[in-house]
Chain A
Amino acid sequence: MKLMKSLSQEKAETLRVLAGRIVPETADLDAAGMGRFFGLIDEALLERPPSVRRQFGIYLGLLRWAPLARFGSPFEKLSVERQDAVLRWFESCPVGLLRAGFWGLKVLIFMGYYGPSETNAVVGYAPERDGRAGLHAGA
């Protein structure tokens, strides 16, 4: 089944691999969690102009294939240490647009994982409409 409307299956699979390094917990998501993850990112991309979606797809391709020149393998075939090294290079890349692209990738992955309220408990966040009891709990 196609994972996303906004990205090809190949690009969505690349996104899944990248997510596993950026938020390691995504690897443990069940089918429903993965559905929420891709669903939120998909919605966000579909809200953006087609040009932005294209650029994002190109950026995913760049992250996948750029390691070929340095390590002889695409991103998904690298050891996790090398994968992280590639990502760190892009995060601090001398080219501002590539840095910003990596930041954008992180934002989407963080949104996909931390955005759903199902993740609140994982980080210990427990919002309440009436927070007064929580505010004074330790008093």
Chain B
Amino acid sequence: MRRSATAGRVSMQEREYDIVIIGSGAGGGAAAKELAPLCADGVKIAVLEMGAKLKEEEYTGREVEMSRRLYIDSGGTLTKDRAMTLAYGRAYGGSTVVYTGTSLTMPEEVVERWNVPGLEYEDLHRRSVKYLEENNVHLLPEDELNDNNRLFLKGCTKLGYHVEQFPINTKGCLSSSLCNLGCPNQAKQGTHRVQLPQAEAEGVEVITNCRVTRIEDRVCETVVTDPGFGEPSPWAPGEYRVKAKVVVVCAGGAVNSAALLLRSGFGERLPNLGRYITLHPALILVGEHDRPITNFYGHPKSYYCDEFWKSDAFLLETCMYFPFVTAKNLIGFGAEHSELMRAFPRLQMILVLALDPAIADNRVTVDSAGEPVVDYTLTEGVLDTLHASMLASTRVFFAAGAKRVHAPAATNFFIDAADAGRIDELIPRSNVLPGKISITSAHLMGGCRMGRDPGDSVTDGWGRVHGTPWLYVADSSLFPQCSEINPYVTVMGLADRVAEGIRTNAGELLA
């Protein structure tokens, strides 16, 4: 392994724990809560989180401000080829602060497709259900659903498409629809509201604004900064060497966990490290109705359509975004674009998720400065999928009564309802051009995939890194393929397994 660039600096401060968890999102938060009871036996546990813990009054709902506070690169991390942007969180609570709280357990056939030795559907499902209960997951009553969601249901139903309501993890939701900017009403039950406070109450220390730059022989080299907002970090700004006497758990998310391990030299003996990234590439489509609808009040994501899950590898979901995000997801510019933006209160929105294959060449690497680079190529198959999903979404809009639709690959900026019979002709596959249409991802998976041995994976089925018994991974980077659903509950279920593995071995490890 390379020698640390910062080793030997006199200013470096030292800290020592038994267990160090890197990241506080769905994986890190769940692992922290599950391991917290060990604190009663004198075990010292720290969670190192690169983001800030926002004060309640700092959840302003203002789009750009919140994006900068809560997302890495303000939610616009570019892939290497610049054809996609990635949105992932950076906060006390990680991405659970900025998701919509949609809570699904992974289907049995997906677990079977993953084919991870030792990972059984029943086990993962049981753990996932535990988090559904812990996070107050429920279905919203019908009178709390807004028009944007009802119209999706109406359109899909009229077409005979199968639709399900999303269970969500809120408590006291006030229908602000600001989920993706951090709920200003503390309603969303992310790890920042449930697991982390519980873990802290049992003795776990959470160190915010603390970025881990490298791990070497159970020592995490970290930098604590002051971002100028949020609660101050428990540690003063500076560099720290944090020793984990027993184990280190990487839960920084698919991009950051893989990048951290690559920076730390683990790639030399783990050829699959960083590889097999999947992203659920996503598109947003917009339908305009001839009257105002309720769209930016009420929970933004109440339904999904899995009609094309098996046949065409995509899901349709309701969504509602804010003016800037909406603007950047529309194709074109100028007067037409402005006209559509001014129709904001009449807009219905659909989010498409393509279920992308796990390919070795789609991977996380690090640049010369050690920063993550996501090298991901949209395959022709995924572009076919995105095209098919645009056709289906456009049909749903018209079936719901939209007067016109904006589809990113359409030949014209608007498709009028009168042309609804010509959708195939008006949205040609040849117009699905990466770099032109806005393709995003908020479901980052893989890079430290579970499997049998270093020849096919990075960790075993319990998240333990092959050949390094003190190092675990507990986040979405464990996924050997995409989850084919919104992934956070699965991440928590896997982190639960990781924590159990550590607890099971605690006597031996802590001896």
List the interface of chain A (C-beta within 8 A of B): 21-25, 40, 43-44, 47-49, 84, 87, 91-92, 96-104, 106-107, 110-111, 113-117, 119-120, 122-132, 134-139
Contact = CB atoms under 8 A, between A and B. Distances in A.
A124 B294 contact: no
A24 B342 CA distance: 13
B501 interface: no
B324 A115 contact: yes
Which 4 residue pairs of A and B lie closest in terms of their CB atoms, listed nearest first? A99-B435, A131-B297, A134-B297, A100-B435
| Chain B: number of interface residues, binned into ranges | 35 or more
Contact of B433 (A40, A92, A124, A128): A92
A100 B323 contact: no
Given A25-B338, A114-B323, A138-B294, A129 B333 contact: no
B81 A96 contact: yes
B344 interface: yes
Contacts of B292: 124, 138
Contacts of B333: 21-23, 87, 91, 106
A129 B322 contact: no
B163 interface: no
B434 interface: yes
A60 B213 CA distance: 35
Interface of B: 61-64, 68, 73-74, 76, 78, 81-83, 143-144, 146-147, 174-178, 184-185, 292, 294, 296-298, 322-324, 326-328, 331-335, 337-338, 341-345, 371, 433-436, 438
Given A24-B338, A130-B174, A110 B324 contact: yes
A134 B64 contact: no
A103 B175 contact: no
A33 to B, nearest CB: 15
Contacts of A98: 435
23 contacts: A21-B333, A21-B334, A23-B333, A25-B338, A91-B332, A96-B83, A99-B435, A104-B82, A106-B333, A107-B328, A110-B324, A113-B327, A114-B324, A115-B324, A124-B292, A126-B296, A129-B176, A129-B185, A130-B176, A130-B185, A131-B297, A134-B296, A136-B143
Given A106-B328, A115-B63, A115-B64, A92 B297 contact: no
Given A22-B334, A103-B436, A47 B74 contact: yes
Nearest to A19: B333
A99 B81 CA distance: 11
B342 A122 contact: yes
A91 B437 CA distance: 9
Contacts of B81: 96-97, 100
A74 B460 CA distance: 59
Given A104-B82, A132-B175, A96 B434 contact: yes
A37 to B, nearest CB: 12
B297 A132 contact: yes
A127 B296 contact: yes
Contacts of A138: 147, 292, 294
Given A21-B334, A123-B344, A130-B174, 4 more contacts: A44-B74, A99-B434, A124-B344, A129-B185
Nearest to B369: A49
Nearest to A97: B82
Looking at A99, A110, A116, the one whose CB has the most chain B CB atoms below 10 A away is: A110
Given A111-B64, A123-B344, A135 B298 contact: yes
A118 to B, nearest CB: 11
A88 to B, nearest CB: 9
Contact of A135 (B297, B342, B433): B297
A128 B341 CA distance: 19
Nearest to A130: B174
B294 A137 contact: yes
A129 B184 contact: yes
A14 to B, nearest CB: 16
Given A129-B174, A138-B294, A110 B328 contact: yes
